[in-house]
Chains A and B, each alone.
Chain A
């Protein structure tokens, strides 16, 4: 998951709310970490759920499905990670 939100508070008041830019390199690196973290679910002695299968497909296809790294990050952020 990549959250591009950037919020600056002054006490309880939000004085700045923006979204940071990310690069494809950052997206790929983060995605690879997320895939590695879930590799264990796909070991031969595991039975991954369909949600996890779909989720990993979504992660792998991020570069070709989105025009920009920011779009990919935002889509990932909206995607509900399986339990």
Chain B
């Protein structure tokens, strides 16, 4: 003990037996009281000291003495904390009557409310987050963590967050309320994962629109993700009223309307098509008010199969002269005498041909320009020929040539051209009547201008080992169907070849057209109808006929003209030579007439044998 206890010190009561648990020491040291021994009761009434700080300030141990602060006050109603408050545990609000528990942010003590978090105190009460003061544009922002453990797919409301509320309301002001995805990610509203029959409902407020807005080439798509299931877009009304799909742009619109009478209307402007599906007899009503009940009422095609339909005084009409042959992709006009007819109306009508099988597409046409008829050819529809109402022929335009000019071939790869006529002169091309009783039999050995009516000579055919040629002008056009000669004397065997040749550019025998093999074992007129090759002749055109035997050592005689009565060929070694025929000296003796005459022409003095042709 450092000194005596100074009175007044009073012991008022002592009970029990203190001897077993005596107070052994009472010590005051630097104002601290220490009692050692048994349990002591110390009455400090009247000696608790004074609270720290100012009125209303909540007391705290401030280094062993009462302390108070203006940032932490209680006025009997409200606890005010002016600085950050750290709570290491729950905040439990037990409010009588189930009133809300609200955290309010103000701009100053008791000032304007800047935002609230309000939690309802009763059953089924909402939690309300209010941002900013009334009428402000403040957002509610949920900020996720940024630590290393955060996955990139997480967001403040991530895949593990469940919002159990029946209604999630976005925004309360007048500005647009949006759910915006990050970067280019899709926004998916999913009723649940896995099998679920729940639906997604987008509900507008009173008279509000629900817009699905795409951008650029984006499309609005309704897709059934389950394979082979129907996909349904339902526009559902409620009670009376139409169901309408509006297809429109800023200036034009078409509406698809299902009205309350189960009629589907396609309505654009003043025109309305109505498909009445309310009954089997509803039919289709056209904009002009007419109604078609069944497909049959649309009429059946007129006429017969393949006939093209046309309006025949208000009804379907067809004609047997107007046919579309789909099997051959052919439009056929006319079938009988006087047909086909194709009338191109207008001053500049034309028929256009396109060849789509090549690229670029080539084209050609025939038509009229005013009173001029023209033909334009591939590939670029270039005019090649025009014929005027005066009968003028224009080559590649208004090129009608001059009087007396003739059309001349430019050969392969060149167009024809008007040129001055040269050479030739008049060619005998009269079509003399043949022996019609025997089927147009012409005696070409006698026909003008090379023929001779003389038939007094008997010609020894044995000298004709190689084809001897005689010119003739065909008196008719057609095919040779018979060749005939006259044997004045027969041979015991053998045949006479009679060939028909065309002329080359020099007018000489050129290519064999046909030939006959005629037995020389008979006398008189002998005709052969079995013709080898095709002898197509053109009236007025010069050809050649040839004769030669198929074997030597036999000597049939042919009726013919004497050399004096046979037109000369003008061939020979001297001016007085009398060649009236020539033969192909390079040909094989006693062979069938060669396919082509060579230019190994050798003149001869053989008279012109009688020869007849049937030209049909």
Using a CB–CB distance below 8 Å, which chain A residues touch chain B?
1, 3-12, 15, 19-20, 30, 33-34, 37
The CA of A1 and the CA of B456, in the complex, are separated in Å by 10
Could you pull out 20 A-B pairs where Cβ atoms are within 8 angstroms? A1-B488, A5-B523, A5-B524, A5-B525, A5-B526, A6-B524, A6-B525, A7-B522, A7-B527, A8-B528, A9-B529, A10-B529, A10-B530, A11-B528, A11-B530, A12-B519, A15-B529, A20-B524, A33-B456, A37-B456
Given contacts A6-B526, A7-B526, A20-B525, 8 further A-B contacts (CB under 8 A): A3-B487, A3-B523, A5-B524, A8-B527, A8-B529, A9-B519, A9-B526, A9-B529
Inter-chain contact A9/B528, CB cutoff 8 Å: yes
Contacts of A3 in B (CB 8 A): 486-488, 523-524
Size range of the interface on B? Answer: 10 to 19
The CA of A4 and the CA of B525, in the complex, are separated in Å by 8
CB within 8 Å for A9 and B488 given contacts A33-B456, A37-B456: no
Instruction: Tell me the nearest residue of chain B to A16, going by C-beta.
Output: B527
The CA of A8 and the CA of B439, in the complex, are separated in Å by 13
**1/0 contact string of B197-240 vs chain A (CB within 8 Å):** 00000000000000000000000000000000000000000000
Contacts of A30 in B (CB 8 A): 456
The CA of A6 and the CA of B517, in the complex, are separated in Å by 16
Residues facing A in B449-499 (CB within 8 A) are 456, 482, 486-488
Inter-chain contact A8/B482, CB cutoff 8 Å: yes
CB within 8 Å for A9 and B524 given contacts A1-B488, A33-B456: no
Quote the shortest CB–CB distance from B200 to chain A (angstroms): 95
B518 within 8 A of A: yes
Instruction: Tell me the nearest residue of chain B to A9, going by C-beta.
Output: B528
Contacts of A5 in B (CB 8 A): 522-526
Instruction: Tell me the nearest residue of chain B to A32, going by C-beta.
Output: B456
A-B CB pair tally, cutoff 8 Å: 48
Q: Main SS of chain B's interface residues?
A: strand
Contacts of B527 in A (CB 8 A): 6-9
Inter-chain contact A9/B530, CB cutoff 8 Å: yes
The CA of A34 and the CA of B524, in the complex, are separated in Å by 17
The CA of A20 and the CA of B484, in the complex, are separated in Å by 14
The CA of A21 and the CA of B156, in the complex, are separated in Å by 128
Quote the shortest CB–CB distance from B55 to chain A (angstroms): 152
The CA of A11 and the CA of B528, in the complex, are separated in Å by 7
The CA of A48 and the CA of B526, in the complex, are separated in Å by 34
The CA of A20 and the CA of B528, in the complex, are separated in Å by 17
Quote the shortest CB–CB distance from B129 to chain A (angstroms): 116
Residues facing A in B505-540 (CB within 8 A) are 517-519, 522-530
The CA of A8 and the CA of B614, in the complex, are separated in Å by 12
Instruction: Tell me the nearest residue of chain A to B519, going by C-beta.
Output: A9
Instruction: Tell me the nearest residue of chain A to B522, going by C-beta.
Output: A7
The CA of A5 and the CA of B487, in the complex, are separated in Å by 10
Instruction: Tell me the nearest residue of chain A to B458, going by C-beta.
Output: A1
The CA of A35 and the CA of B527, in the complex, are separated in Å by 29
User: By CB atoms of chain B within 10 A, which of A8, A12, A33, A37 has the most?
Assistant: A8
The CA of A19 and the CA of B522, in the complex, are separated in Å by 13
The CA of A34 and the CA of B458, in the complex, are separated in Å by 11
The CA of A34 and the CA of B487, in the complex, are separated in Å by 17
Contacts of A15 in B (CB 8 A): 529
User: By CB atoms of chain B within 10 A, which of A1, A9, A10, A19 has the most?
Assistant: A9
**1/0 contact string of B50-67 vs chain A (CB within 8 Å):** 000000000000000000
Instruction: Tell me the nearest residue of chain A to B529, going by C-beta.
Output: A10
Contacts of B482 in A (CB 8 A): 8
Inter-chain contact A9/B518, CB cutoff 8 Å: yes
Instruction: Tell me the nearest residue of chain A to B521, going by C-beta.
Output: A7
The CA of A33 and the CA of B530, in the complex, are separated in Å by 34
Quote the shortest CB–CB distance from B420 to chain A (angstroms): 48
The CA of A30 and the CA of B455, in the complex, are separated in Å by 9
Inter-chain contact B529/A4, CB cutoff 8 Å: no
Quote the shortest CB–CB distance from A61 to chain B (angstroms): 21
Contacts of B488 in A (CB 8 A): 1, 3
Contacts of A6 in B (CB 8 A): 524-527
Quote the shortest CB–CB distance from B504 to chain A (angstroms): 31
Contacts of B456 in A (CB 8 A): 30, 33-34, 37
The CA of A13 and the CA of B475, in the complex, are separated in Å by 29
Instruction: Tell me the nearest residue of chain B to A30, going by C-beta.
Output: B456
Quote the shortest CB–CB distance from B529 to chain A (angstroms): 5
The CA of A9 and the CA of B523, in the complex, are separated in Å by 13
Quote the shortest CB–CB distance from A5 to chain B (angstroms): 3
The CA of A62 and the CA of B140, in the complex, are separated in Å by 146
Nearest 3 Cβ contacts at the A-B interface:
A5-B524, A11-B530, A3-B524
Instruction: Tell me the nearest residue of chain A to B523, going by C-beta.
Output: A3
The CA of A4 and the CA of B488, in the complex, are separated in Å by 10
Instruction: Tell me the nearest residue of chain A to B528, going by C-beta.
Output: A9
Quote the shortest CB–CB distance from B585 to chain A (angstroms): 30
Contacts of B523 in A (CB 8 A): 3, 5
The CA of A1 and the CA of B527, in the complex, are separated in Å by 20
